[in-house]
Amino acid sequence: KIDVEGHELAVIKGALRLIQRDKPLLIIECEDRHLPAGQTVASFIRLVESLGYSATLAMPGKAELPAREFATNLHQKQAGERFWDAKDYYNNFIFRPTELAL
């Protein structure tokens, strides 16, 4: 699992050869609130998908949601104190190599 508070792109770039060669399953925590200006969860998802991956949003207790249906205002609402602990706050994305996608 990659959980690097806004440095996801740097990790992917650093592991690019390994990712392209071995195509590991990736679980990446990603939130707009941690990303640098100009980057979004949606653009990060598109980047990883361009490497031959299919993405879903992990929603404990529910079926996985195709990442293309992710919306920050729905799935990462920043309302209230400690909003990131809310039951309806989701930030874990599962990236499967396309050939293994559900």
CB 77 within 8 A of CB 83: yes
pLDDT tens digits, one per residue of 18-63: 999 999 999 999 998 999 888 899 999 999 999 999 999 999 889 8
Closest CA to 102 of 56, 40, 57: 56
User: pLDDT tens digits, residue range 57-91?
Assistant: 999 889 899 999 999 988 988 888 889 888 888 99
Whether the model clears a pTM of 0.75, i.e. scores above it, the answer is yes
The vertex-55 CA angle with 35 and 93, nearest 5°, equals 50
